[in-house]
Amino acid sequence: MQTVTLSELAFTIKDAISGNLAPSYWVTAEIGDMKVNAKGHCYLELLEKDHQQVKAKLRAAIWAYDFRNINQWFEKITGNSLRQGIKILANAQVSFHEVYGLNLTIKDIDPNFTIGERERKKQEVISRLTEEFLIDRNKGLVLPVVPQRIAVISSSTAAGYGDFLHQLENNKKHYAVSTKLFPVTLQGDEAERAILRAIENISNEKDDFDAIVVIRGGGAQLDLDVFNEYNVCAAIANAPLPVLTGIGHERDETIADMVAHTRLKTPTAVADFILEGFEAFTESIQWMASRLLRQVDEEMRGQKHLLGQLSKDLNYLARQQMAQGLSYINSVKRDIAQSAKWKIERERNRLREVSATTIHTVNEQLKAAKNQLAIAEKSVEASDPKKVLARGYSITTLEGKLLKNSKLKNGDSIVTHYSHGVLTSQIKSLNDHE
């Protein structure tokens, strides 16, 4: 049996390819993976798929000089740079290297070629979700500041799920976060049905949770397709709780990321985001407490200053009122003294007038009284019984009563007073003047 070395076979393949293929081919393919190294060389993985089944896969490269021009031109024409998931029409040279194997060297890309089936389908799903007003529906839900009860959609064996739990359970502040896993498969034909079933189960238990977390973690880019399916994205948009995604690919935003309430780059970033809510809430409470204490302290100082000022003002007003009161009292005293002085002087004048009038009246009355007294004295003197008796008159009484009105009868004893003495007589006969 004839044998050949591996290098001989490799060179034979190389000669066969270079001798039988055209210098270049225009090839349609989807970019399954794409990396640009530090030197500017672009390395791609080109795919052809039948639905989700990969039919062909080849490595390709665009060297730095060509890549810079091709990418700039492609972006200028299409508005998008070359990236994973788009379908391209590329002019490729086929080469075979005895060490590195079969490789395509891309010399040009037609920017007018429509985007790949994968990207076209994605755009169609985005357009449908937009028309149905689902793009921002989940964002309208209120995410609690401190989401403590988390429903997790992930594969139980996914490294990203383990990273998520580790980050939550080992946080430095010892915040308590409760999680419940709704396990799903994220690859193959069952992935879509599994995710829809998990969202439905969570919806039935929505009162037990604050938020939903969808975690994928690392893996091939092709595994992202399930997160661009309409049914999955519509279910996320219509979920009764805010959905956080940590699908784990920074370069490729899925439609699930677009319709979710909050998109994070990785599962660990989702855990950090939840813990940041706790931290922010704690800081806000501490800040509010500190602010409240400052406000109370400032208010106390302000009230103390106000009280001191009011005390000074009150003391000043009291002194002012007392001074005004004393001034008023002194003014009233002066007015009273002056008024009293005026009244006393007026009364003195009136008293002097009354006194003068009274003295004059009294003098006149005294004069009149003296005259009347002199007349009375003369009358009394003229009526003195002694003088009357001296003129020859006598006074006769009966039982001590004048005889003027007394009725006499014979035998009565009468007394007669005359100038030289008293006579006692007894009536023997009576003769009336008539």
3-state secondary structure of 146: coil
Say which amino acid occupies 12.
Answer: T
CA 214 to chain centre: 35
For the chain, give every residue range classified as CATH 3.40.50.2300.
121-279
Q: Do 205 and 239 touch, CB atoms closer than 8 A?
A: no
Task: Give the Cα separation of 30 and 37 in Å (integer).
Answer: 20
Strand partners, 214: 153, 245
Q: Do 8 and 70 touch, CB atoms closer than 8 A?
A: no
Q: Where do we find the tokens 């007294």?
A: 373
**What's phi and psi for 418, nearest 5 deg?**
-140, 180
Which pLDDT belongs to residue 219?
Answer: 58
Which pLDDT belongs to residue 127?
Answer: 93
Relative to beta strand 25-36, strand 87-97 is antiparallel
217: phi > 0 → left, psi -120 to 50 → alpha, else beta; which?
Answer: left
Mean predicted confidence (pLDDT) in 72-86: 78
DSSP state, 408?
P
**What's phi and psi for 264, nearest 5 deg?**
-115, 160
Which pLDDT belongs to residue 405?
Answer: 64
Which pLDDT belongs to residue 364?
Answer: 84
Which pLDDT belongs to residue 114?
Answer: 46
Overall fold of domain 6-115: OB fold (Dihydrolipoamide Acetyltransferase, E2P) (2.40.50)
Each residue's pLDDT tens digit, 358-378: 888 888 888 888 888 888 777
Which pLDDT belongs to residue 251?
Answer: 61
Higher pLDDT: 118 or 141? It is 141
Q: Do 267 and 249 touch, CB atoms closer than 8 A?
A: no
Higher pLDDT: 259 or 220? It is 259
Q: Where do we find the tokens 């530090």?
A: 38
Relative to beta strand 413-418, strand 421-426 is antiparallel
Threshold 0.95, pTM exceeds? no
Mean predicted confidence (pLDDT) in 32-49: 92
**CA dist 110 to 28, 45, 72, 90, Å?**
10, 18, 12, 6
Residues 6+ apart with CB under 8 A from 407: none
Angle at the Cα of 65 from the Cα atoms of 105 and 60, rounded to 5 degrees = 20
Which pLDDT belongs to residue 263?
Answer: 92
Higher pLDDT: 263 or 8? It is 263
Half-sphere exposure of 29 (CA within 13 A, CB side): 26
For the chain, give every residue range classified as CATH 2.40.50.140.
6-115
Minimum mean pLDDT range among 102-116, 175-189, 337-351, 398-412: 398-412
Higher pLDDT: 15 or 230? It is 230
Which pLDDT belongs to residue 224?
Answer: 76
Q: Where do we find the tokens 């007392």?
A: 322
**CA dist 117 to 89, 122, 392, Å?**
12, 8, 187
Say which amino acid occupies 423.
Answer: L
3-state secondary structure of 126: helix
Task: Give the Cα separation of 108 and 82 in Å (integer).
Answer: 12
Each residue's pLDDT tens digit, 108-132: 998 877 455 567 788 889 999 999 9
Angle at the Cα of 389 from the Cα atoms of 388 and 392, rounded to 5 degrees = 100
DSSP state, 399?
T
Average pLDDT, the chain: 85
Q: Do 65 and 52 touch, CB atoms closer than 8 A?
A: no
pLDDT tops 50 at residue 340:
yes
CATH of domain 121-279: 3.40.50.2300
Torsion of the alpha carbons at 201, 203, 209 and 213, rounded to the nearest 10:
80
Q: Which of 4-13, 134-143, 188-197, 333-342 has the highest mean pLDDT?
A: 134-143
Torsion of the alpha carbons at 125, 127, 128 and 132, rounded to the nearest 10:
140
